[in-house]
Amino acid sequence: MIEETGRVLSIEEGFAEVETVRTSSCTSCRARHGCGHHAIAQVSSSNRMRMRAIDPLTVKVGQSVVVGIPEDTLLQASVWMYLIPLLGLVCGAVIPSLWGGQSDIAVVFAIVGFAGGLFLARNKSKQEMNNLDYYPKILRVESLHDDHIPLVVTS
């Protein structure tokens, strides 16, 4: 389960709008000076994200909650959004070479294959829009009293 902490902004029946703050581990990474992700994280001012999450706990506005999504769900969505268009691009580029086509034709087929992959991903996204398996779920409410470190005294 991939988890993130956020704050409840509003509540609907069975759902809650949660705002999370994206944190980056770039500051502790040794390769951050040559990394494109670090450069994008530095430029991006939008590190807040709002999401509609399933609320089985009946939370209240303002509470700090932990939302999560299963890894396999994220993997399935990633395959549809990244791998399918990429496979369309590669297959479109390879098909003309099987019959000895020119490179101009391969470029056109690659673009058509990529667009076809994006079209398939878009249709899959529309089909799964109301599938609750793809929604994040509120897992638990963060306690407000965990801000201090307990002191243990031994005699």
For residue 117, pLDDT beyond 70: yes
pTM for this model (two decimals): 0.65
pLDDT range class, residue 101, cuts 50, 70, 90: confident
Average pLDDT rounded to a whole number, residues 35-42: 62
Q: Is residue 153 part of a domain?
A: no
Q: Is residue 146 part of a domain?
A: no
Average pLDDT rounded to a whole number, residues 17-46: 66
Q: Is residue 147 part of a domain?
A: no
Six token digits for residue 134? 């793809």
Q: Is 134 exposed, middle or buried (0-12, 13-18, 19+ CB in 10 A)?
A: middle
Domain count, the chain: 1
